[in-house]
């Protein structure tokens, strides 16, 4: 098989399911996107409370998988070159076998329910391989998902990592149920996040970080708002450098707004409107702790994350 033949990477999280079909540039070795898709399916709806997938959420996700199967076939990706990775919600759901069986039937591959540690490592690789101008020394990559948040530190490869059971969907369902959130709800959510960040700081030496890189939809969306974009533009958000103080102001604003007010920002995907406040709170508290520990005053944003890490891992298996 040609080393430049395409691969298909699928990342199924708590809030979204994403597809990347890519090949490797034979000259540079870099990923070349052939198709990149995202659908907001909210697979993890209610999992934090019930411990089970909702049947309607499963069907939404399977419908998206059927559409992805058509794209995979269109690009001629061989079955051996398809990898489906499931993360936080699937790790926690007691009835995950029902979902896994549906994916097997549609795509002909078995979803890999990966650990938080592997999720962190894949996100790290996808981010640091694409963000230009990073300083020497350890880089801290933060991936805020719907059900979990990963922090991973390293230079070229991870040296420290942790996966926290806190994400935008999980935090919203636990605490931020009023529209807009009440002061009491925000206080409870903040205490929850801070306890998790304490856990992260005990496992990952934040003071060693020379750069802070945020990945995934929460961070890229907040970056788009901070940049004042009228429409979502990944060519602007990818690699963006922002002052942490400025981003924290945006986070506070998003957290305090009603859902209708958030929807006025056209760059916020409709599937994120109800949970972006929680994601903003998580990102704000992590930025504050990292800035205090390391002295970093700016954050970088990457549009490339676990999805790219999955694709790179698939391509490496051919070498």
CATH number of the domain within which 50 lies? 3.30.420.40
**Spatial CA neighbour of 276 closest among 141, 176, 143, 194:** 176
In the block, tokens 């007010």 appear at 261
**Residue 319 in this model has a pLDDT that exceeds 70:** no
Q: Are residues 212 and 290 in the same domain?
A: yes
pLDDT tens readout for residues 83-115: 999 876 677 788 888 899 999 999 999 998 888
pLDDT at 223: 96
State mean pLDDT over 174-198. 95
pLDDT tens readout for residues 126-156: 888 888 888 889 999 999 988 889 899 999 8
Q: Are residues 100 and 178 in the same domain?
A: no
**Which of the listed residues 88, 116, 144 is the one where a domain comes to its end?**
116
Residue 42 lies in a domain: yes
**Spatial CA neighbour of 120 closest among 89, 146, 157:** 157
CATH number for the domain that contains residue 142: 3.30.420.150
State mean pLDDT over 25-40. 86
pTM equals 0.86
Residue 122 lies in a domain: no
Residue 1 lies in a domain: no
Cβ contact 66:19 at 8 Å: no
Q: Are residues 296 and 257 in the same domain?
A: yes
Q: Are residues 157 and 252 in the same domain?
A: yes
State mean pLDDT over 37-59. 87
Q: Are residues 42 and 191 in the same domain?
A: no
pLDDT at 3: 60
């Amino acid at each position: 098989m040609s080393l430049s033949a395409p691969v298909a990477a699928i990342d199924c999280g708590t809030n979204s399911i994403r597809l990347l079909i890519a090949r490797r540039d034979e000259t540079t070795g870099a990923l070349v996107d052939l198709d990149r898709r995202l659908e907001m399916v909210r697979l993890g709806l209610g999992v934090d409370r019930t411990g089970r997938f909702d049947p309607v959420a499963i069907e939404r996700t399977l419908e998206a998988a059927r559409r992805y199967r058509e794209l995979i076939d269109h690009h001629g990706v061989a079955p051996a070159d398809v990898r489906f990775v499931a993360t936080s919600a699937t790790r926690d759901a007691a009835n995950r076998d029902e979902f896994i069986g549906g994916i097997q039937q549609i795509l002909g591959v078995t979803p890999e329910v990966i650990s938080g540690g592997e999720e962190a490592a894949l996100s790290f690789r996808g981010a640091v391989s694409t963000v230009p101008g990073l300083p020497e020394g350890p880089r801290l990559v933060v991936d805020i998902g719907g059900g979990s948040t990963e922090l991973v530190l390293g230079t070229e490869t991870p040296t420290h990592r942790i996966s926290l059971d806190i994400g935008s969907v999980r935090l919203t369902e636990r605490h931020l149920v009023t529209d807009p959130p009440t002061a009491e709800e925000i206080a409870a959510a903040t205490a929850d996040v801070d306890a998790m960040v304490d856990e992260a700081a005990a496992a990952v030496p934040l003071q060693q970080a020379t750069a802070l890189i945020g990945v995934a939809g929460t961070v890229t969306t907040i970056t788009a708002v901070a940049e004042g974009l009228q429409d979502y533009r990944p060519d602007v958000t990818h690699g963006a450098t922002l002052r942490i103080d400025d981003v924290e102001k945006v986070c506070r604003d998003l957290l305090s707004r009603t859902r209708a007010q958030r929807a006025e920002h056209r760059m916020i995907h409709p599937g994120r409107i109800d949970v972006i406040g929680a994601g903003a709170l998580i990102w704000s508290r992590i930025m504050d702790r990292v800035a205090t520990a390391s002295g970093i005053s700016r954050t970088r944003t990457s549009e490339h994350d676990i999805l790219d890490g999955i694709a790179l891992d698939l391509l490496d298996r051919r070498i």
